[in-house]
Structure 1
């Protein structure tokens, strides 16, 4: 005789009513069924963890799920999704360091499962007090979320309906990177520090010099990693990561990311529907692409804000077309300068190593994305925005790399 989990029949009825229909009445019916049966809460959570595990099998990752939930639903759904992902993590298979970083970055209260158990010397009381405080905060948050059972059930069903309907994505190879974490790179630490200073300074010339030095170090880092890999017993292989490219002005941002990726021996493929680009490349290059793209976005936003203020001071009202044109010009000009920097000559003995890695990246991209299309930038109609954006790109330009020995 088969048995049904406690509350399973209730959850089945709610799902049958709400998950496969878009109407408000259907959602209300399912939420009413769940709200009337508190015994179904555990089974409802278990089904949610199953939905999350199914998403991982379909190629999604934690940051992807949070991004799409935030775009299509509300903050309450983002918190529910983060809670589900954390709850599912102990049952998941080993993943790579990027996955672990995404779990760590989830919004809301982090899980305490991997924290200090209070067993260290002199730390028992403190550990117990910390756990009690976390438990109290979690309980209060849970009571607040469940004050209105109907509203809570409605939010859960809305979230599950979205998760259930997400299509498969191109899988990223987390198995390959699930081994011991890479040792911390002093070069990457220096690059981060330079870019942070470039973002913070109010002087364009200083920002240009700092960003140029960062790109010089990126070039050195990439070549050093390539040489190390060429002498390794087992050849390294390209990997991939997803980087959010979200509204507004996502098309110009995607163009900027493509330029950064190309200059650093990677390839980027934009998924407009789900708000990210997949960047394919070797791990050391993927790291610097993320760093430089993020920094250039910060610099571009700062420059655009200043340009808008100057335009308003001159009595000209700026519009969405100004910002779109500004960022498009910024991406275009930075891309041109990065491409020029990428032409830096290297010694002849390095050419075969770098060429083989470029071929490997291209082949990996073609396997993941056998069909891609090109897209033209839209909405670039404001001449002042284009001029200001191009000038800002010049100030943030990554200078010509010196010849690498």
Structure 2
């Protein structure tokens, strides 16, 4: 009788060192062999252990839970997403992430639904996934092969959060650039108000109402950023600059154009952006409450841009706009939104300075310098880039016009 592959060192070698593209016939042939030898799929847990080892290697190379799920969910490995989530949940359980992981890691686990108590068994993760998905044994083994190969091929990226190997006993950690400013109850209140305003804007069928709500959200962001910068300045240099990091994931299509929109929102709010081409992953560096607010506003504006694009297509009598038109629309939208957000930030800062009778320029300059210093520390080889290639003129100007209608700045005559 053949040796069960789940107990076989050969299986671990196959998964951790084999290259299994999803579209090659050889992958299917190997999956068929595995199915014949182990039709129950990972009966004794060898595949699960190998995949958890591959996941552990990914953590050491700078990847975080949400990063892995995002990349696995793209392209040929999309069918492996549910298995990836199950493995991440098991990894969190085994490592006692609930009491040991840094807050940023925990937040991702919560959002992914991968931080839950239970009696999960490391032996049964792949097998349980196979039974729940009701796949054939051959199909399940093919997904396992492709997932193992995808995890192994993940390139090394910057380590923004300590991996599990650096977690202490029952304590959270901090990123390599130092601790973030401790969040205050006011941070939470402001973020809830911003989230509520943007949710109303997204659900509104009236552009003027949506624009007014978005404008109010941006105003809150700016005023809170000024307050936070003043608090940090009063605390003195010993309190640190209060700078943290966050990753944002951007899906296809038109990733580069969407990154331009995220960059515009980030720039207007004192946050730096570094992104990995080909992965759809952006790294944001800035004050902790600013990072959360930027992500919220970007997500809302992206939804508003999608609606505006659909409207522009109808107005132009286009059944289905070309890719060039859509890309140019998003680029034009991003460019104009950036202009309006920057103007709104400058106006709100001037108003805050007048109310406080203080010169905020030195305070905000020190905050910007602190952000730049962290970017240099974390991304020493970063280089700036600009969108290249021709742009559809109609799409560009339609996007700018839509951004004007979004009315993201405070509604005052001086905006126009």
**Shorter-chain TM band:** 0.7 to 0.9
TM-score (norm 2): 0.80
Alignment partners' CA distance in 1, 2:13 and 2:266:
48
Residues 1:189 and 2:187 are matched in the alignment: no
The structural deviation recorded for 1:74 is: 4.0
The aligned counterpart of 2:380 is 370
Helix, strand or coil: the match of 1:348? coil
CA-based RMSD? 3.1
Q: Could you say which residue in structure 1 is the equivalent of 2:274? A: 269
How far apart are the structure 1 equivalents of 2:268 and 2:195? 18
Q: 1:151 to 1:316 in 2, by over 3 A?
A: closer
CA contact (8 A) 2:272 2:286 kept: yes
2:93/2:115 contact within 8 Å kept: no
Contact 1:27–1:157 under 8 Å retained in 2:
no
Return the alpha-carbon distance in structure 2 between the equivalents of residues 336 and 142 of structure 1.
51
Q: Counterpart in 2 of 1:101?
A: 107
Q: Aligned residue for 1:60?
A: 63
Deviation at 1:77, TM superposition (A): 0.5
Alignment of 1:302-313 (within 5 A): 302-312=307-317
Residue deviations 1:35-81, cap 9 Å, x none? 51466641211121121122111110111111111113244311111
2:306 to 301, 305, 319: 301
The aligned counterpart of 1:19 is: 18
Structure 2 partner of 1:170: 158
Q: Structure 1 residues 146, 295: CA separation in 2 closer, same or farther (over 3 Å shift)?
A: closer
Query: What is the 5 A alignment of 1:77-156?
Result: 77-92=80-95, 94-106=100-112, 112-113=116-117, 142-145=130-133, 147-156=135-144
TM (norm. structure 1) is 0.82
For 2:386 and 2:273, the matched residues in 1 are separated by 16
Distance change (3 Å), C-alpha of 1:66 and 1:279: same
Matched, 1:394 2:413: no
Counterpart-to-counterpart distance in 1, 2:28 and 2:127: 27
Note the alpha carbon deviations across 1:330-389, whole angstroms, 9 max, x for none. Answer: 001111112222323235343333221111100111112222333332455333222221
Helix, strand or coil at the partner of 1:45:
helix
Q: Answer yes or no: is 1:160 the counterpart of 2:148.
A: yes
170-179 or 294-303: which moved more? Answer: 170-179
Question: What residue is the counterpart of 2:245 in the other structure?
Answer: 240
1: CA distance, partners of 2:393 / 2:267: 27
**Using a 3 Å threshold, how does the CA distance of structure 1 residues 73 and 181 change in structure 2: closer, same or farther?**
farther
Q: Give the conservation status (yes or no) of the 8 Å contact 2:183–2:289.
A: no
Unaligned runs of 5+ in 2: 121-125, 163-172
